[in-house]
Structure 1
Amino acid sequence: MPGLLSAMQGFCVIGIVIFVGYVAARMRIGGPSAQMVLNRFSFFVSSPCLMFAILSKEPIFDIFHPSIIVAFLSAMLIGVVFLVLNRMFFHMNAADATIGALNSLYLNSNNIGLPIATYILGNGALVAPILVMQQALFTPIGLTALDVFTKGKVSVKEIAKQPLHQPLLIGSLLGIVLSAVNAKTGWFIPNYLYDPINMIGESAVPMILMAFGMSLHGTKPLQQKGDRPAIFTVAILKNIVMPVIAFLLAYFMMGFRGPELYACVVLAALPTGQNVYNYAARYNVGLTFARDGILMSTLTSPVFIAVIAFLLS
């Protein structure tokens, strides 16, 4: 049971830091803007530095591992399943259904994915292909759909600008470029430049987790009774069905075994990414649905990741 023990120890580390953030919020340490400051600093500074530091030293062929095929197909299938269920049972309008599909397929590769990849899977670079896939593919598709359904037209300029507003994607791409240059020429940036970037990046995970803990203080989920069936459906699709699909694809289609299979399934069980709430807020659609779906999948995700660790690790 070493894999399960390792997962539980990883969750213990993550849980303690989250709890510290929750206590800090209750005690009003840092004032009412503390969560926003931690979130913004980690989003715009620490996390991009972390992804750059990790990926620049990762072998280029390890970054784009074939497991990205599993992540892509399992996410797409889950999104389609939600849309079918919505048509059969929930009957949301097109914009809200788009938020529901994103809630079901979008992985929290930053706030939760980075800590889990670091402390449970032992390699933070594992989330990089997922991050690039989501920001380069799923985000433009989702925003295009929301543009059409809320405005009746597509703002190509705004959608094309999205990657420029994603510091994580920029940091990841720069790290990938440096990794490729290093593989081709053997050149790497001097340590006096790399070390401060790495030092700043190491602050990302604790800030992310404490900010998440702060966000739990005063939260009152599931106030909209009409959304509850769809919210529970999102949590089931995200935390149970998606890992099952990922396992089937990884095991039977890709032939993965051991750590590769384990990583594919654990990452598929990550909760919904908080980006979905940002998109809902931007278009003013499905706000409470997006928030409660993210919260529900986030609270239940550790249970299912523990089960996966027990069965596969």
Structure 2
Amino acid sequence: MNSPAFSALLPVILMIGLGICLAKLQWVRHAAVRDLSNLVFYVLTPALLFRTMMQVKLTDLDFAPIGVYFLAVALVFAVTMLVQGFTTLGAARALANTFSNTVMIGIPLMSLAYGEQGLVTLFTLISVHALVLLTSGTIIFELAAARQASRAGQADARGMGRTIAQAVKNSILHPIPLPIIAGVLYAQTGLSVPEVVDTPLQLMGQALGPMSLLLVGVTLAYGRVRGNLSAALRIAVVKTVVHPAVFLGCAWLLGLRGPAMAAMALAAALPVGANVFLFTQRYEVGEDEVTASIAVSTALALVTLPVVLTVLQRWA
């Protein structure tokens, strides 16, 4: 089982390493990082999300395994927020502890480990993964930011109802949830997208993965990795060890097993997804720490994923 995990993870590590080299050679300067982040966050990400979600028929999806997955996510997220405090930094760490790299690593690894059946389950997760985690994550970030601003005297104290309403509004009028919602609504119309529009969306979506990983590497090169190594390692351990363990515990308590549950356990064991880094850039909190955690968790996954796959062979 070592070969599938290594084969799927090695290209990701190489892309991050290439980004580091680009920064070290000064081919991408530090001043350009913010602009590249805006390009990824405001252009490439919405294109991929809209194009993916506009092909989803909600009635065709089996959400039973997904429910257990998000139960585990909710538990890990909530405990992280309780430990870290209800702040934007706490939200960044909680999102990093629960947001898996389901596309760049998940798809090739799932195909090698569980074949077409595993991919169907993973694609069901991917269809709602961003919708659930990024939308709820945005609400948490907005609520935490409003709370911090109020405590710092930068905003008038507002009632909880008004704060939540503003957070929901900000979470919808946002470059992540908005294209997801638009894509889902468009999919239900049954209409096709003209090729002249679909082709640019496809090309931008294909550019997202490489650009995100290169951007992680560039930011990692300019960040203070050594000063954040301890915090990044804590996130990496929670993401690649604790998260799948919590999922398996939930599935065991509910008496659920089988290939679909094994596929979801593997998804929970994936390293931190690059979208978390984009959130830290947007909210300007924990950027170096989370960026380092993406690299550290990806490297750690070279050890933990083969172990998880071996355990799942017996468990499923």
TM-score, length basis structure 2? 0.75
Question: The residue matched to 1:255 in structure 2 has which SS?
Answer: coil
1:45-84 maps to which residues of 2 (within 5 A)? Answer: 45-61=43-59, 65-82=63-80
Query: Larger deviation: 72-81 or 293-302?
Result: 293-302
Match of 1:35 among 8, 33, 36: 33
Match of 1:299 among 296, 299, 310: 296
How far apart are the structure 1 equivalents of 2:203 and 2:173? 23
Tell me what 2:140 maps to: 141
Return closer, same or farther for 1:108/1:196 CA change in 2, 3 Å cut-off.
Answer: farther
Aligned residues of 2:102 and 2:126 also touching (Cα < 8 A): yes
Aligned residues of 2:45 and 2:176 also touching (Cα < 8 A): yes
Question: The residue matched to 2:196 in structure 1 has which SS?
Answer: helix
> Deviation of residue 131 (structure 1)?
1.4
How far apart are the structure 2 equivalents of 1:172 and 1:274? 19
One-letter amino acid of the counterpart of residue 187, structure 2: S
Aligned residues of 1:19 and 1:213 also touching (Cα < 8 A): yes
Aligned residues of 2:40 and 2:208 also touching (Cα < 8 A): yes
How far apart are the structure 1 equivalents of 2:59 and 2:193? 20
Match of 2:105 among 95, 98, 116: 116
How far apart are the structure 2 equivalents of 1:121 and 1:308? 13
> Deviation of residue 247 (structure 1)?
2.1
Percent identity at matched positions? 17
How far apart are the structure 2 equivalents of 1:220 and 1:293? 11
Unaligned runs of 5+ in 2: 112-118, 152-156
1:210-289 maps to which residues of 2 (within 5 A)? Answer: 210-221=214-225, 223=227, 233-250=234-251, 252-253=253-254, 255-267=256-268, 269-271=270-272, 273-274=276-277, 277-278=280-281, 281=284, 287=285
Aligned residues of 1:231 and 1:292 also touching (Cα < 8 A): yes
Tell me what 1:179 maps to: 187
Aligned residues of 2:48 and 2:202 also touching (Cα < 8 A): yes
Tell me what 2:154 maps to: none
Determine if the alignment matches structure 1 residue 99 to structure 2 residue 52.
no
Unaligned runs of 5+ in 1: 87-91, 282-286
1:185-209 per-position Cα deviation (integer Å, ceiling 9, x unaligned): xx32233332221122111111111
How far apart are the structure 2 equivalents of 1:236 and 1:67? 24
How far apart are the structure 1 equivalents of 2:3 and 2:242? 24
Aligned residues of 1:35 and 1:215 also touching (Cα < 8 A): yes
One-letter amino acid of the counterpart of residue 140, structure 1: I
Tell me what 1:167 maps to: 175
Return closer, same or farther for 1:309/1:52 CA change in 2, 3 Å cut-off.
Answer: farther
Tell me what 1:89 maps to: none
TM-score, length basis structure 1? 0.75
Cα RMSD, aligned residues only: 3.4
Tell me what 2:116 maps to: none
Determine if the alignment matches structure 1 residue 309 to structure 2 residue 284.
no
Return closer, same or farther for 1:109/1:179 CA change in 2, 3 Å cut-off.
Answer: farther
> Deviation of residue 210 (structure 1)?
0.7
> Deviation of residue 275 (structure 1)?
5.3
How many residue pairs align between the two structures? 289
Question: The residue matched to 1:114 in structure 2 has which SS?
Answer: coil
Question: The residue matched to 1:42 in structure 2 has which SS?
Answer: helix
Return closer, same or farther for 1:64/1:18 CA change in 2, 3 Å cut-off.
Answer: farther
Return closer, same or farther for 1:164/1:19 CA change in 2, 3 Å cut-off.
Answer: same
One-letter amino acid of the counterpart of residue 137, structure 1: S
> Deviation of residue 224 (structure 1)?
7.8
> Deviation of residue 40 (structure 1)?
1.9
Tell me what 1:151 maps to: 150
How far apart are the structure 2 equivalents of 1:276 and 1:39? 10
How far apart are the structure 1 equivalents of 2:308 and 2:296? 16
One-letter amino acid of the counterpart of residue 121, structure 1: M
One-letter amino acid of the counterpart of residue 215, structure 2: A
> Deviation of residue 5 (structure 1)?
2.6
Query: Larger deviation: 242-251 or 302-311?
Result: 302-311
Return closer, same or farther for 1:16/1:45 CA change in 2, 3 Å cut-off.
Answer: same
One-letter amino acid of the counterpart of residue 245, structure 2: V
